[in-house]
Amino acid sequence: MKKFAALLLCLLLFSGAALADSVSFGAASFPRDAESIDLGDQAVEDFDAFIAFLGEFPNLKNVDMFTTLIESKQIDKLVAAFPDIHFGWTIHITHKHYIRTDQTAWSTLHGQCAPHPSKVFNVLKYCTELRALDIGHNVVTDISFLENLTHLRVLILACNPDLKNIQVLGSLKELEYIELLSTGISDLTPLSELPNLMDLNVANNRVKNWESLLNCKSLRRLWIPVNDKAANQIREALPDCLVVNHGSATGNPWRRYDDGSEHPHYSIIYRMFREDRYIPFEESAPWEDPNHGEIPTRTEHTGLLDK
């Protein structure tokens, strides 16, 4: 009898230790010493309790919440509470626009759709794996959120007529392709600080101080609204650059050649924004794909939801 009681006590002590070494959230349980956890599709209904739950992991580095329901207004609170933890989210931006934080390319794919203001795109600051972004044909006026997207190589901001300040672009040193046609910009100085810039379209703007671009030796295509004298000065300074200063801002030779064939950069950009994955140009610097060739699936009914 004493042996049985001792065995039972040992079992209880072992069970208690096992429970102490795990942490539960909803139906899921995780080792307390875990460095990564996946919350699946569980909803976060009690945010304070969720904060306390995450605080139980002393070694936690990654939290996968790509299919976890949580309000978008709580993103900033999570980041502030756990600045050393990397969260994976599917963000509901607005309307039918969703983005995973591990995507490498994303576009609103707008043409004649209802435009969106700057504030709905602020959450893109958490999508730090983006290499290509298209938020053209909107009403964006503030692009300061781009500061976090240091790996951007392709950026389309065309047809945001009230966008004037592009100072932040000077800090995005990996940029290779920029479309700023039909915006409200006039100062091109920040773009002169980009060592890898190959393609720049600033058509349909009142451009000032275009001379700042003369040091952009990496430029290979430039659509700029200047007179012929200024265009010739740019050609002399940048002999390897095709300088266009009249004609269609999106026709020949920006997207297509005179024979009707597509420029290779346009063909690649068309693909990447429809496949949600970055595709480098032939001339691009080597890059490390965070998804190892796999394309994250767009989520339309889960993720960070505005209530």
DSSP 8-state secondary structure symbol assigned to residue 285: P
Return the structure tokens found at 158: 């065309």
Is the whole model's pTM more than 0.85, yes or no?
Answer: yes
Would you list the DSSP string of 92-120?
A: EEETTEEEETT-SEEE---SSSPP-BGGG
- Per-residue pLDDT, averaged over 253-257, amounts to 87
Q: What percent of the chain has pLDDT over 90?
A: 68
Residue 250 has pLDDT above 70, yes or no: yes
Q: What is the pLDDT of residues 222-243, one digit of tens each?
A: 999 999 999 999 999 999 999 9
199-208: list long-range contacts, CB under 8 Å, 24+ apart. Answer: 199/265, 200/224, 201/158, 201/249, 201/254, 203/249, 204/249, 205/180, 205/181
Name which of 154, 89, 174 is nearest 125 in CA terms: 89
Q: What percent of the chain has pLDDT over 70?
A: 88
| Site of tokens 């002590």 | 13
Looking at residue 26, what is its pLDDT? Answer: 85
Measured CA to CA, the distance from residue 304 to residue 68 in angstroms comes to 8
State residue 138's pLDDT score: 94
pLDDT at residue 300 tops 50: no
For residue 7, is pLDDT > 80? no
> Residue 112: its pLDDT value, please?
60
**Taking a C-beta distance cutoff of 8 angstroms, is the pair 162, 139 a contact?**
yes
Reported confidence tier of residue 113, pLDDT bands at 50, 70, 90: low
Q: What's 69's DSSP letter?
A: B
Stronger pLDDT, 239 or 17, i.e. the higher one: 239
> What are the pLDDT digits (tens) for 78-106?
999 999 999 999 888 887 888 999 999 99
Can you give the pLDDT at residue 301? 38
* Residue whose token pair is 């042996």: 3
Q: Is the pLDDT of residue 180 over 80?
A: yes
pLDDT at 1: 52
